[in-house]
Structure 1
Amino acid sequence: MYRLLPLVALSSLAGASIIPQQPLAGSSNPEAPLISDSKELVSSSALEAHITKENLLKRAKQLYKIAEEGAPEYNHPTRVIGSQGHISTIDYIYSTIADLGDYYEISNQTFDAVVGNVFEWRLVLGDTEPESVLPFSLTPPTKNKDAVFGPLVLVANDGCDESDFPSEVNGAIAFIKRGVCPFGQKSALAGKAGAIAAVIYNNERGSVSGTLGEPSKYHVATFGISNEDAEPYIEKLEKGKIIPSSAYMDAIVSKAPTTNIIAQTKGGDPENCVMLGGHSDSVAEGPGINDDGSGSLSLLEIATHLVNYKVNNCVRFAWWAGEEEGLLGSDYYVSQLSEDENLKIRLFMDYDMLASPNYAYQIYNATNAVNPTGSEELRNLYIDYYESHGVNYTFIPFDGRSDYDAFIKHGIPGGGIATGAEGIKTKEEAEMFGGKAGDWYDPCYHQLCDTVDNLALDAWVLNTKLVSHSVATYAASFEGFPKRTGITARASSELSLYHGPKLVM
């Protein structure tokens, strides 16, 4: 059991001031704290040399033991927020950093997070159960957590306006097409119209499931089905046929306190911070040793060895809570930043899933054209590293699926690397990286089998060295990297399909 150290109360995490000491040798900021000259300036080669497969694997095995603490409540290992597995994960991270001495200013940020769990569900439309049916995350239960009965009623257009819902929806199950607006908006409008449940069918091939997002008193129990399953029902409803149906959902949605952990070097220019993060939580369905044990443990390992070096710019590590519930921790953190504290963060680097077993070396395609200036320079650092090591890489969308989202929306340059989640590896990628074409990059994504055995150690070691390189590069110098001039983001006006790992629209 880890020693739970007293956590620091914090009103604005990034705003926690570091008491000025003597100027750092060579720093342009006379207020920068002094780091002993007996330590050499951090370099990529020096920091990377500390990274070993043995140390990473040891941490992964320890994290799995921690996940097992969630079993009494969930009947299997998990580190979902609110579980003992996540509480002990936070304890482990905090205690590990605290045991390193006074190199870091460590603090916590507690906030109320929305949590939900679906225990059982059933949907019968007419005399059949659609094979593709899935419940939405953060769905409320059906009334009294019991089966409800009513006709299936087709909603006009996309179900994004009150006028799309005919009066017949009252006391019925609303049948709504996916598209245009968030799932939560569709569910709430169905509830306002008096629906007893809602079914959202896909507007493209394949099943659909996502999250309703921030709870609303109007939300109703909401299911998703595929376009293929929906077509026969749509045809019957358009011909005026009545489809008696029933829905059952046993689910809970509640709020619970959880905690972000932040560790910032006491040395280095506090006006120019290198920031990086990974998330400390897993989904309820499994232990999350790759997602995001791999990223969060890489940060912990690097933070452990960074203490051997001095830095010219401060380095700020973050372990976010509630990423799996919709980027809750990182959203809250950025929302609490004053403009002055925002501008001290020169860039944010996101490290989520670095060891997928059927991996591809993926770089977020973060360009300056649609993201804060500096995002492309960070992207190019990853490109240069892979190319210098003779490693193939591929670009993936910078589409709001991880904790960089709030940063780029508030003008902070961002980027990161990953090895893939539920996406399908192509034949071309199998030729580039090895592995199996046609399979998920991580076949255990969001499942019980995301254990220590689910880690590609070779990819994890290389990517942790790349993370070390990114830290060392900017901790030593921001020469050539664009300066922050304001907090207005240059971002696309198009709504993202994601805000976190689940679809939102």
Structure 2
Amino acid sequence: MRASISTLSVLAAGASALQIPLFLSEKQAPVEPASDDDYHGEKPQVSSSALQDLISGNKLYARARKLYEIAKLGEDEYNHPTRVIGSAGHDGTLSYIYETILALGHYYDISNQSFPAVSGNVFESRLVLGDEVPKSASPFGLTPPTKNRQPVHGTVIYVENEGCELGDFPASVKNNIAFVKRGKCPFGTKSEHAGIKGAAAVVVYDLGSKDGIGGTLGTPSPKHIATFGIGGEDAKPILKKLKNKEYVDAIAYIDAEVKQIATTNIIAQTTFGDQDNCVMLGAHSDSVAEGPGINDDGSGTLSLLEVASQLTKFNVSNCVRFGWWAGEEEGLLGSDYYVATLPKEENQKIRLFMDYDMMASPNFAYQIYNATNAANPNGSEELRDLYIDWYKEQGLNYTFIPFDGRSDYDGFIRHGIPGGGIATGAEGVKTKEEAERFGGKAGGWYDPCYHQLCDDLSNVNITAWVVNTKLIAHSVATYARSFKGFPKRTESVAAKDYAEGVKYHGSKLFI
């Protein structure tokens, strides 16, 4: 897995072409090759307390400042800082991760895994239904534009049975606006069926949502057409008119692009420790196009970098593998690709996977994914309990959140690898009870700048970030030292109810 000179040269050449600095700090200058004795002989065996003691808020925030400067590389193309895949800001992020790990010498083997990814961007949109502009209207992720990137006019046509079958769409949708309920099948299927029937655009409504649908069409299809989502409050008056056989006209407009690019996962694995028994952890290296992503998921990315750096002071008994995934915000692209391309024997070497996405939300709660061995691969529950025990030992409260497909653990769980993780919250609303347990503001988002331009240096809670990075260090040290009492790997996959219960693929709903 050790990176070849040619691989490094390609990365450096790409960085140079984009005028991306290598971002090496004074203490991260390239090191001279060291002998195996430097790593296997004099270092102490890793311990949780010793590794935790090396974590500090000053070091994490210094890395955050550097990452924000990197995000500014995206300004020329996006007019604001961003680290979205395909941007100079993301290329700079990859260079920073790679160079930081490379500077640690022979402690890690490092590799790049390039893969094709789909990137979508909506530049402008507008939806008018009758004489109203729905407040909750938003284009779906990976939607194509309206025809010729111009407004399209038509009649709103009601679609029966949630649009999961081609026959649900009447012939009258041709050149008109299909109005279809969110339901049992993916949004992409509804859009594709409408496109085959010749509709000009699709509006998917969710009666159970007030604020609309943060959805994605998923894997692009040439049959997809411009697709919006709206919430129940905006949909109800339209439904009432349609059921009364009243005419409702509409104007839909989306200027968007969907393109295929190449991007890269970065994998770093200790060069010693039992290579057939690896503890793996990951974070995603990209942000959304709308902002720099310092909390989402700069915080997880930098926590992993800091733990990886401090781990070099110790010996490990089991190998430790770090993964920085690209394309998470586009639908878990990097982690899905990584797991799907693992040979069976390599899959079995990963004893567990730990996901660390959003470690520093300003209005945080200490959240643990509620994994069970009944619904997830055997060992997931033991990992959950490790987090519980640590928070209890620190005298800290915690809460559970569901495994719902919103982050990079999803592909690992689906491929039979035990998984879990912690988080501090995204756009969810903090309850009064949670405010009493964790502090902060009841009724506000955990991260008030989630997927926005203001996810910058002011959008991290250092207390939460340090606490959770210490917990990451604890999880790494525990399993790097021993898997005693942790279930052996089997070839089982996630239970059927997990797959059927997951409605997200990344941050956006796909069903």
> TM exceeds 0.5?
yes
Asked if structure 2 preserves the Cα contact closer than 8 Å seen for 1:311 and 1:476, the reply is yes
Q: Distance in 1 between matches of 2:349 and 2:492?
A: 11
Counterpart residue type for residue 246 of structure 1: I
Which residue does 1:189 correspond to in 2?
A: 193
Counterpart residue type for residue 77 of structure 2: E
Instruction: Verify: 1:296 aligned to 2:298, yes or no.
Output: no
Instruction: Verify: 1:497 aligned to 2:503, yes or no.
Output: yes
Asked if structure 1 preserves the Cα contact closer than 8 Å seen for 2:404 and 2:501, the reply is no
Asked if structure 1 preserves the Cα contact closer than 8 Å seen for 2:146 and 2:201, the reply is yes
Q: Structure 2 matches for 1:184-223, cutoff 5 A?
A: 184-206=188-210, 207-223=212-228
Displacement after TM superposition at 1:128 (Å): 2.2
Give the aligned length.
480
CA deviation vs aligned residue, 1:16-37 (integer Å, no higher than 9, x gap): xxxxxxxxxxxxxxxxx98422
With normalisation by structure 2, the TM-score equals 0.92
Which residue does 2:178 correspond to in 1?
A: 174
With normalisation by structure 1, the TM-score equals 0.93
Asked if structure 2 preserves the Cα contact closer than 8 Å seen for 1:273 and 1:315, the reply is yes
Residues 118-127 or 443-452, more deviating: 118-127
Counterpart residue type for residue 7 of structure 1: T
Which residue does 2:24 correspond to in 1?
A: none
CA deviation vs aligned residue, 1:14-62 (integer Å, no higher than 9, x gap): xxxxxxxxxxxxxxxxxxx984221111010111111001100100000
1:386 aligns to what SS in structure 2? helix
Q: Structure 2 matches for 1:342-421, cutoff 5 A?
A: 342-421=347-426
Displacement after TM superposition at 1:350 (Å): 0.2
1:102 aligns to what SS in structure 2? helix
Displacement after TM superposition at 1:244 (Å): 2.0
Displacement after TM superposition at 1:409 (Å): 0.3
Q: Distance in 2 between matches of 1:87 and 1:491?
A: 38
Residues 244-253 or 472-481, more deviating: 244-253
Which residue does 1:454 correspond to in 2?
A: 459
Displacement after TM superposition at 1:205 (Å): 3.2
Which residue does 2:92 correspond to in 1?
A: 88
1:438 aligns to what SS in structure 2? coil
1:494 aligns to what SS in structure 2? helix
Asked if structure 2 preserves the Cα contact closer than 8 Å seen for 1:142 and 1:220, the reply is yes
Asked if structure 2 preserves the Cα contact closer than 8 Å seen for 1:8 and 1:108, the reply is no
Counterpart residue type for residue 265 of structure 1: T
Q: Distance in 2 between matches of 1:428 and 1:5?
A: 55
Q: Structure 2 matches for 1:74-473, cutoff 5 A?
A: 74-206=78-210, 207-473=212-478
Q: Distance in 2 between matches of 1:36 and 1:316?
A: 17
Asked if structure 2 preserves the Cα contact closer than 8 Å seen for 1:410 and 1:488, the reply is yes
2:508 aligns to what SS in structure 1? coil
1:453 aligns to what SS in structure 2? helix
Residues 218-227 or 324-333, more deviating: 218-227
Distance 1:70 1:331, change over 3 A: same
Displacement after TM superposition at 1:365 (Å): 0.1
Displacement after TM superposition at 1:333 (Å): 0.1
Distance 1:490 1:231, change over 3 A: closer
Displacement after TM superposition at 1:5 (Å): 7.7
Q: Distance in 2 between matches of 1:250 and 1:503?
A: 21
Gaps of 5+ in 1: 10-32
Displacement after TM superposition at 1:209 (Å): 2.7
Structure 1 residue runs of 4 or more that deviate by more than 2 Å after TM superposition: 4-9, 487-491
2:134 aligns to what SS in structure 1? coil
Instruction: Verify: 1:61 aligned to 2:58, yes or no.
Output: no
Which residue does 2:55 correspond to in 1?
A: 51
Q: Distance in 2 between matches of 1:489 and 1:195?
A: 38
Displacement after TM superposition at 1:485 (Å): 2.2
1:124 aligns to what SS in structure 2? strand
Q: Distance in 1 between matches of 2:5 and 2:402?
A: 39
Q: Distance in 2 between matches of 1:331 and 1:488?
A: 15
Sequence identity (%): 64
Higher helix share: 2
Q: Distance in 2 between matches of 1:189 and 1:164?
A: 9
Displacement after TM superposition at 1:491 (Å): 4.5
Counterpart residue type for residue 7 of structure 2: L
Q: Distance in 1 between matches of 2:501 and 2:466?
A: 35
Q: Distance in 2 between matches of 1:128 and 1:491?
A: 42
Asked if structure 1 preserves the Cα contact closer than 8 Å seen for 2:413 and 2:493, the reply is no
Q: Distance in 1 between matches of 2:231 and 2:5?
A: 48
Asked if structure 2 preserves the Cα contact closer than 8 Å seen for 1:360 and 1:394, the reply is yes
Which residue does 2:30 correspond to in 1?
A: none
Displacement after TM superposition at 1:489 (Å): 3.2
Q: Distance in 1 between matches of 2:177 and 2:438?
A: 47
Residues 477-486 or 199-208, more deviating: 199-208
Counterpart residue type for residue 285 of structure 2: S
Displacement after TM superposition at 1:148 (Å): 1.0
1:257 aligns to what SS in structure 2? strand
Which residue does 2:19 correspond to in 1?
A: none
2:373 aligns to what SS in structure 1? coil
2:162 aligns to what SS in structure 1? coil
Asked if structure 2 preserves the Cα contact closer than 8 Å seen for 1:42 and 1:476, the reply is yes
Q: Distance in 1 between matches of 2:443 and 2:5?
A: 46
Counterpart residue type for residue 392 of structure 2: E
Asked if structure 2 preserves the Cα contact closer than 8 Å seen for 1:5 and 1:94, the reply is no
Asked if structure 2 preserves the Cα contact closer than 8 Å seen for 1:52 and 1:461, the reply is yes
Residues 280-289 or 238-247, more deviating: 238-247
Asked if structure 2 preserves the Cα contact closer than 8 Å seen for 1:5 and 1:95, the reply is no
Counterpart residue type for residue 419 of structure 2: G
Q: Distance in 2 between matches of 1:371 and 1:224?
A: 31
Displacement after TM superposition at 1:123 (Å): 1.1
CA deviation vs aligned residue, 1:49-85 (integer Å, no higher than 9, x gap): 1100110010000000000110110000000000000
Displacement after TM superposition at 1:284 (Å): 0.2
Asked if structure 1 preserves the Cα contact closer than 8 Å seen for 2:416 and 2:490, the reply is no
Counterpart residue type for residue 362 of structure 2: P
CA deviation vs aligned residue, 1:176-224 (integer Å, no higher than 9, x gap): 0111111111111111111010001113131223111000111110011
1:158 aligns to what SS in structure 2? helix
Displacement after TM superposition at 1:6 (Å): 5.1
